[in-house]
């Protein structure tokens, strides 16, 4: 009887505690870092992936996961996780540097339209702000305008200055609201994927018997237009479009 009670004690109290400790986010993160330091990159990937499975999402986890895949020479997964890290922390220089390095190792070099000086400045600001930051900035300018208009009611002599200031804030609000709308669309409606298999044939339709148009390799980045029966229609540029199996690409 004592042995039976001890057995049930282990099942109901000891084992769950061990499992909870194993799934503890902090312990998993430390384990992943330790595995990486010991050059056990496959086990580091396993630890970081478990963190993502329990929804412990952060730029640090994606960045470390990208580094681990980089060491394993899996460029597709490497680029994917750097992209995810950059989306969460767009001003991190290490993430940007490593992403640029990983992209340079990809086989496919997709030409993109060059931006002029004005567009480069605009996108410099846009690319380095998160959705939450843009929301906070828009909220600040909106409240500031409301307060200035209320202020103008009580201080007639300062009304012209207040109106000019409110107008300037209104312009800034419009600019950042456009940024916010574009960022919200990019992250919630527009889908961008990274090729995560060694290579994939891009076909003219969503079946293997459609015409082969060209081949993509891991690490290539493409816009995902729609999904049909396990296939994604992708768009790389005006002249590069087609269909690839869903399993060959991961959405950022």
User: Token pair 């290539």 is at which residue?
Assistant: 220
In a domain, residue 130? The reply is yes
Domain end residue (candidates: 168, 188, 208): 188
CA distance 229 to 226: 10
CA distance 183 to 252: 14
Domain containing 172 equals 117-188
Does one domain contain both 29 and 57?
A: yes
Strand runs labelled E in the chain: 191-195, 199-203, 212-217, 221-228, 231-235, 241-245, 249-251
CA distance 50 to 68: 14
In a domain, residue 111? The reply is no
Does one domain contain both 173 and 221?
A: no
In a domain, residue 145? The reply is yes
Domain end residue (candidates: 104, 135, 155): 104
Least confident span in 7-11, 65-69, 133-137, 213-217:
7-11
Furthest C-alpha separation in the chain: 91
CA distance 166 to 141: 9
> Would you state the structure tokens that stand for residue 4, as one six-digit string?
């039976």
Does one domain contain both 73 and 86?
A: yes
Does one domain contain both 49 and 38?
A: yes
Does one domain contain both 100 and 130?
A: no
Nearest 5°: phi and psi at 229? 50, 50
Does one domain contain both 12 and 84?
A: yes
What is the DSSP annotation of 209-222? TSPEEEEEETT-EE
pLDDT, tens digit, 9 for 90 and up, residues 29-85: 999 999 999 999 999 999 999 999 988 889 999 999 999 999 999 999 999 999 999
In a domain, residue 202? The reply is yes
pLDDT, tens digit, 9 for 90 and up, residues 94-127: 999 999 999 999 998 776 656 667 777 778 888 8
CA distance 180 to 21: 40
In a domain, residue 37? The reply is yes
Band of pLDDT at residue 22, cut at 50, 70 and 90: low
Q: What is the domain-level CATH number for residue 217?
A: 2.30.30.40
To the question of pTM greater than 0.75 for the whole model, the response is yes
Does one domain contain both 183 and 195?
A: no
In a domain, residue 143? The reply is yes
Does one domain contain both 199 and 157?
A: no
Number of domains composing the chain: 3
Task: State the pLDDT at residue 142.
Answer: 96
Q: What is the domain-level CATH number for residue 58?
A: 1.25.40.10
In a domain, residue 88? The reply is yes
pLDDT over threshold 80, residue 141 = yes
> Would you state the structure tokens that stand for residue 146, as one six-digit string?
């409301």
Task: State the pLDDT at residue 176.
Answer: 95
In a domain, residue 109? The reply is no
* 44-to-29, 48, 92, 109, 196 alpha-carbon distances in Å: 9, 6, 22, 29, 19
What is the DSSP annotation of 112-145? -PPP-HHHHHHHHHHHT--HHHHHHHHHHHHHHH
Q: Which residues contact 185 (CB under 8 A, 6 or more apart)?
A: none
pLDDT over threshold 50, residue 177 = yes
């Amino acid at each position: 009887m004592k042995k039976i009670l001890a057995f049930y004690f282990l099942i109901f109290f000891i084992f769950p505690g061990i499992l909870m400790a194993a799934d503890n986010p902090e312990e998993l993160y430390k384990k992943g870092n330790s595995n990486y330091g010991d050059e056990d990159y496959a086990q580091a990937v396993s630890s970081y992936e478990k963190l993502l499975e329990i929804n412990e999402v952060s730029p640090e986890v994606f960045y470390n996961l990208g580094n681990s895949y980089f060491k394993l020479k899996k460029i597709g997964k490497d680029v994917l996780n750097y992209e995810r890290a950059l989306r969460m922390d767009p001003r991190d220089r290490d993430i940007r540097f490593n992403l640029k390095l990983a992209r340079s190792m990809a086989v496919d070099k997709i030409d993109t339209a060059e931006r002029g000086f004005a567009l480069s400045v605009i996108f410099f600001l846009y690319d380095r702000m998160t959705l939450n930051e843009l929301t906070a900035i828009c909220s600040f300018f909106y409240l500031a305008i409301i307060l200035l208009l209320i202020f103008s009611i009580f201080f007639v002599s300062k009304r012209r200055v207040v109106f000019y200031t409110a107008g300037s804030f209104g312009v800034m609000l419009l600019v950042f609201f456009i940024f916010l709308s574009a960022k919200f669309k990019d992250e919630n409606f527009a889908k961008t994927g990274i090729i995560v298999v060694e290579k994939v044939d891009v076909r003219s339709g969503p079946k293997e018997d459609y015409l082969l148009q060209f081949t993509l390799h891991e690490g290539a980045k493409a816009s995902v237009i729609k999904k049909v029966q396990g296939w994604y229609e992708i768009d790389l540029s005006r002249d590069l479009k087609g269909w690839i199996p869903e399993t060959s690409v991961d959405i950022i």
